[in-house]
């Protein structure tokens, strides 16, 4: 069957810019997120530049990754930055306490991360330790990375091979401080944050000063946002929010990443869509204390969280990534685009081999996931101007759960083209989507589509990808209206000129 959906585009009512940081990444010392995924070492037979995988860098450059958050996550509040600098053969091995107690060789530290970010062309978002270190560690690390002066820390950095200061435009001060970052109450965290930011120095980094991101709420913990904004809102530049799309089961139980039922398709999509309302409610609290919207909401961890490849829960958090994940990613993008008056940054968890990854590796092999392709298709939305798109969509219902079939957003790209991104979340039906273009006189349309035969189709090592962006031929333009024939379970991005 085919469903019908409509939309009205308001090209004459430009909204806020969609900051490119909305398309940020997160890479943590967890499972094979860093080692094997990014770092193979200079002596590896896997092609690398200064120890960093060339295949991965090449693929990430295609995504125009604007920002990478590192070193955690939970890892950040247990990390001593000093372990990761200086000659690599002298660095101490440590136990990675949050993630299986696995050996942490510290071969990948500050200089290696910065090299990786620079190779990819991304800005650095550094997470500093508030949970288990004094403010002096943060102070010293910042000075080590960013000072241009003649002082011991900057000189140590120079001796370690980096003359020019690193650029650190974004700094997270604590991570999940309500949990792995210290099990703090919001009142206590707000005080700790105030104390830490007192010792946060910009070290003459070129303006604008680094953005200080306070550790934010988990999901629907609105009290956290309220208390931190009330007590520390004037002293922070951004507040984070973490929202994972978890199946209804207990998070350690996990839902299936592949071979799931249609009920599980709908449950995951419905779960992903909830972020819209959750952002709205956190933003409304922030409005109370910051009506001018100076403080950004940074959704610096989001994505699907399933049971691991092994079928059981394991702390490496490595999961398969199917067409469903590509659709989940597109729905998030569309939602984020609608909240860019407040949401200025997001990071999907995580870049490599962990949770909803862009790329999976196995030794020298690498595979791009459907999520990777969704990111790639949405590149034109980076730094574009959001345009209102009023969508009227039929629903897809299964049992007690209903989701709208269509989730979409529009923007004017930096290249002057108008882009519309759509997730058809209906797993069964094509949707004929008629968009009234209003004042826009377009004469040409082209686009890309991500879809597959099976809803749990994924890409396998050594095979040509079963789920990859393909040229889209389902668009027609006539009399100021755009009609899109959207395949069931698909992502489509079209550009109009
Ligand atoms: O992304 C995996 C983990 O999830 C992060 O380390 C932590 O911040 C969150 O709980």
Q: What is the mean pLDDT of each run of 10 residues along the chain (497 residues)?
A: 96 97 98 98 98 98 98 98 98 95 96 98 98 98 95 98 96 98 98 96 77 97 98 97 84 82 95 98 98 98 87 85 98 98 98 98 98 99 98 96 97 98 98 96 97 98 97 94 97 98
90 and 124 in a common domain = yes
Residue having the nearest C-alpha atom to atom 9 of ligand 1: 73
The three-state DSSP-derived secondary structure of the chain is CEEEEEEEECCCCCCCECCHHHHEEECCCCCCCCECCCECCCCCCCCEECCEEHHHHHHHHHCCCCEEEECCCHHHHHCCHHHHCCCHHHCCCEEECCCCCEEECCCCCHHHHHHHHHHHCCEEEEEECCCCCCHHHHHHHHHHHHCCCCCHHHHHHHHCCCCCCCCCCEEEECCCCCCCCCCCCHHHHHHHHHHHHHCCCCCCCCCCCCEEEEEEEECCCHHHHHHHHHHHHHHCCEEEEEEEECCCCCCCCCCCCCCCCHHHHHHHHHHHHHHHHHHHHHHHHHHHHCCCCCCEEEEEEEEECCCCCCCCCCCCCCCCCEHHHHHHHHHHHHHHHHCCCCEEEEEEECCECCCCCCEEEECCEEEECHHHHHHHHCHHHCCCEEECEEEECCEEEECCEEEECEEEEEEECCCCCEEEEEEECCCCCEEEEEEECCCCCCCCEEEEEECCCCCCCECCCCCCCCCCCEECCCEEEECCEEEEEECCCEEEEEEEC
- Give the position, in ligand 1's atom list, of the atom nearest the Cα of 72: 6
With respect to residue 109, please indicate whether it lies within any of the assigned structural domains: yes
With respect to residue 174, please indicate whether it lies within any of the assigned structural domains: yes
Range of the domain at 472: 2-10+387-496
142 and 35 in a common domain = yes
382, 408, 439 — which closes off a domain? 382
Q: What per-residue confidence (pLDDT) applies to 125?
A: 98
With respect to residue 15, please indicate whether it lies within any of the assigned structural domains: no
With respect to residue 249, please indicate whether it lies within any of the assigned structural domains: yes
377 and 397 in a common domain = no
334, 353, 382 — which closes off a domain? 382
178, 218, 301, best to mutate for ligand 1 pocket (most atoms within 8 Å of CB)? 301
Q: What per-residue confidence (pLDDT) applies to 227?
A: 98
- How buried is 63 (Cβ within 10 angstroms: 0-12 exposed, 13-18 middle, 19+ buried)? buried
With respect to residue 88, please indicate whether it lies within any of the assigned structural domains: yes
How far is residue 11's CA from residue 279's CA, in Å, rounded to a whole number? 25
Q: Which residues have C-beta atoms less than 6 Å from ligand 1?
A: 28, 72-74, 175-176, 301, 349-350, 355
Phi-psi region of 354 (alpha: psi -120 to 50; beta: other; left: phi over 0): beta
Q: What per-residue confidence (pLDDT) applies to 309?
A: 65
112 a catalytic residue:
no
Q: What per-residue confidence (pLDDT) applies to 312?
A: 72
Span from the CA of 348 to the centroid of ligand 1 (angstroms): 11
Count the domains in the chain.
2
With respect to residue 375, please indicate whether it lies within any of the assigned structural domains: yes
Q: What per-residue confidence (pLDDT) applies to 314?
A: 79
With respect to residue 414, please indicate whether it lies within any of the assigned structural domains: yes
397 and 423 in a common domain = yes
Q: What per-residue confidence (pLDDT) applies to 247?
A: 75
435 and 308 in a common domain = no
With respect to residue 52, please indicate whether it lies within any of the assigned structural domains: yes
At residue 414, φ and ψ (nearest 5 deg) are -65, -20
394 and 376 in a common domain = no
29 and 176 in a common domain = yes
How far is residue 353's CA from residue 266's CA, in Å, rounded to a whole number? 25
CATH code where residue 492 lies:
2.60.40.1180
* Residue of 112, 143, 176, 192 with catalytic role: 176
Span from the CA of 73 to the centroid of ligand 1 (angstroms): 5
Residue having the nearest C-alpha atom to atom 5 of ligand 1: 73
234 and 289 in a common domain = yes
42 a catalytic residue:
no
302 and 166 in a common domain = yes
How far is residue 149's CA from residue 22's CA, in Å, rounded to a whole number? 33
Residue having the nearest C-alpha atom to atom 6 of ligand 1: 73
Span from the CA of 282 to the centroid of ligand 1 (angstroms): 20
427 and 356 in a common domain = no
329, 348, 382 — which closes off a domain? 382
Q: What angle do CA 493, 496, 497 make, to 5 degrees?
A: 150
372 and 460 in a common domain = no
34, 216, 246, 349, best to mutate for ligand 1 pocket (most atoms within 8 Å of CB)? 349
Q: What per-residue confidence (pLDDT) applies to 202?
A: 82
CATH code where residue 111 lies:
3.20.20.80
Span from the CA of 369 to the centroid of ligand 1 (angstroms): 20
**SS percent in the chain: helix, strand, coil, step 5:** 30, 30, 45
- Give the position, in ligand 1's atom list, of the atom nearest the Cα of 176: 8
301 and 185 in a common domain = yes
What's the token pair of residue 115?
A: 């090299």
């Amino acid at each position: 069957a085919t469903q019908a959906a409509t939309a009205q585009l308001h090209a004459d009512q430009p909204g806020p810019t969609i900051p490119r940081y909305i398309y940020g990444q997160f890479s943590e010392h967890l499972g094979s997120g860093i080692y094997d995924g990014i770092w193979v070492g200079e002596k590896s037979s896997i092609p690398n530049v200064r120890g960093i995988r060339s295949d991965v860098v090449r693929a990430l450059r295609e995504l125009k990754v604007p920002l990478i958050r590192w070193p955690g996550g939970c890892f950040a509040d247990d990390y001593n930055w000093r372990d990761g600098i200086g000659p690599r053969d002298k660095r101490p091995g440590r136990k990675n306490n949050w993630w299986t107690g696995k050996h942490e060789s510290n071969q990948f530290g500050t200089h290696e991360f910065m090299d990786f970010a620079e190779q990819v062309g991304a800005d650095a978002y550094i997470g500093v330790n508030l949970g288990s270190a004094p403010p002096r560690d943060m102070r010293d690390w910042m000075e080590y990375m960013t000072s241009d002066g003649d002082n011991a820390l900057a000189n140590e950095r120079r001796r370690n091979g980096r003359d020019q200061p690193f650029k650190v435009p974004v700094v997270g001060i604590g991570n999940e401080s309500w949990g792995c970052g210290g099990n703090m109450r919001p009142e206590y965290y707000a005080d700790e944050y105030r104390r830490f930011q007192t010792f946060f120095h910009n070290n003459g980094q070129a303006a604008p000063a680094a953005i200080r991101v306070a550790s934010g709420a988990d999901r629907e913990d609105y009290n956290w946002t309220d208390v931190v904004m009330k007590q520390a809102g004037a002293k922070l530049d951004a507040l984070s929010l973490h929202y994972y799309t978890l199946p209804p089961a207990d998070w350690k139980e996990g839902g299936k990443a592949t071979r799931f039922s249609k009920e599980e398709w709908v449950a995951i999509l419905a779960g992903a869509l909830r972020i819209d309302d959750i952002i709205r409610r956190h933003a409304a609290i922030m409005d109370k204390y910051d009506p001018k919207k100076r403080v950004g909401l940074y959704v610096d961890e989001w994505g699907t969280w399933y049971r691991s490849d092994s079928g059981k829960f394991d702390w490496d958090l490595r999961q398969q990534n199917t067409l469903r994940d590509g659709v989940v990613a597109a729905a998030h993008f569309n939602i984020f685009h609608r909240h860019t008056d407040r949401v200025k940054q997001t990071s999907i968890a995580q870049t490599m081999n962990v949770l909803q990854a862009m790329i999976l590796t196995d030794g020298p092999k690498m595979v791009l996931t459907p999520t990777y392709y969704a990111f790639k298709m949405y590149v034109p939305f980076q730094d574009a101007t959001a345009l209102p798109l009023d969508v009227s969509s039929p629903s897809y219902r299964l049992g007690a759960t209903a989701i709208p079939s269509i989730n979409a957003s529009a923007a004017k790209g930096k290249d002057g083209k108008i882009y519309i991104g759509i997730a058809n979340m209906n797993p069964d039906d094509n949707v004929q989507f008629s968009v009234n273009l209003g004042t826009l006189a377009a004469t040409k349309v082209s686009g890309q589509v991500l879809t597959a035969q099976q809803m749990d189709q994924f890409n396998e090592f050594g095979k040509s990808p079963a789920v990859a962006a393909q040229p889209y031929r389902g668009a027609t333009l006539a009399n100021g209206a755009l009609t899109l024939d959207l395949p069931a379970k698909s992502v489509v991005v079209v550009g109009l000129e």
